[in-house]
């Protein structure tokens, strides 16, 4: 769905002068992400309605949940299922000049769903956001459970108000 929206934005912003980007809103709810999202346009914000509590995996970290009011994360929740064989949920990449201008991920949960064989390991081989090319700035705020791999020459990567693992690409 997000890839289709980005394709529509590119189709409607044809001229070099008028490319203001877009805001993609992820409403509250649970959404399955089956294919990697490729971000190759500047001035893009992907925004949700909050990240709820951490992850579906939280149910494995407690002795009992029978008294809980809910078992699933609330707000805007993207379950990374990636049936396309890619490890990352979001790939930030573009060739040519100029490099990508500010990209922002805000207020939604990127959830790797589960961790095998040990549900408490928090390792599942998935990456939330991979930066593969140069960017002027990338901001991640209010999202949870996100591994960010920085393989591009990001002039600025800002990550706050959530739980992340920010690593250079090996």
- Model pTM score: 0.79
CA-based torsion, 134, 26, 9, 84: positive or negative = positive
Nearest to 99 by CA among 40, 150, 16: 40
- Does pLDDT of 30 surpass 80? yes
For 6-16, write each residue's pLDDT tens digit: 999 999 988 87
pLDDT over 70, % of the chain: 65
- Does pLDDT of 108 surpass 70? yes
Number of domains in the chain: 1
Q: Give the separation between CA 129 and CA 169, rounded to whole angstroms.
A: 11
Q: Looking at per-residue confidence, does 138 or 44 come out higher?
A: 44
C-alpha pair distances (Å), 116 with each of 52, 120, 166: 23, 9, 22
DSSP string covering 28-43, please? Answer: SEEEEE-SPEEE-SSS
Burial class of residue 129 (count of CB atoms within 10 Å of its CB; 0-12, 13-18, 19+): buried
156 falls within a domain: yes
17 falls within a domain: no
- Does pLDDT of 99 surpass 60? yes
pLDDT (0 to 100) of residue 17: 82
Peptide bond before residue 116 is cis, with ω within 30 degrees of 0: no
- The residue range of the domain holding 120 is 2-8+22-168
15 falls within a domain: no
125 falls within a domain: yes
Could you tell me where the DSSP H helices lie in the chain?
2-12
Q: What band does 76 get if pLDDT is binned at 50, 70 and 90?
A: confident
Q: Looking at per-residue confidence, does 29 or 146 come out higher?
A: 29
Nearest to 127 by CA among 169, 168, 79, 89: 89
Q: Looking at per-residue confidence, does 147 or 161 come out higher?
A: 147
118 falls within a domain: yes
126 falls within a domain: yes
Average pLDDT score over residue span 4-27: 89
- Sheet containing 88-92: order of strands: 37-39, 88-92, 127-131, 146-150, 164-168
16 falls within a domain: no
pLDDT (0 to 100) of residue 3: 92
For 40-73, write each residue's pLDDT tens digit: 999 999 998 876 655 555 666 677 777 877 766 5
CATH number at residue 78: 2.160.20.10
49 falls within a domain: yes
């Amino acid at each position: 769905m997000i890839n289709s929206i980005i394709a529509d934005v590119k189709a409607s912003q044809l001229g070099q002068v008028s490319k203001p980007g877009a805001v993609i809103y992820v409403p509250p709810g649970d959404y399955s992400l089956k294919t990697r999202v490729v971000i190759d346009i500047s001035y893009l914000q992907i925004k949700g309605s909050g990240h709820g509590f951490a992850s579906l995996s939280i149910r494995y970290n407690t002795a009992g949940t029978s008294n809980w009011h809910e078992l699933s994360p609330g707000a805007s929740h993207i379950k990374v299922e990636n049936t396309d064989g890619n490890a990352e949920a979001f790939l930030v990449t573009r060739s040519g000049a100029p490099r990508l201008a500010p990209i922002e991920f805000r207020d939604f949960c990127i959830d790797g769903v589960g961790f095998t064989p040990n549900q408490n390991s928090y390792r599942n081989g998935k990456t939330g956001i991979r930066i593969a090319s140069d960017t002027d700035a990338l901001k991640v705020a209010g999202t949870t459970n996100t591994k960010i791999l920085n393989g591009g020459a990001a002039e600025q990567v800002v990550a706050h108000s959530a739980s992340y693992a920010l690593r250079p690409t090996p």
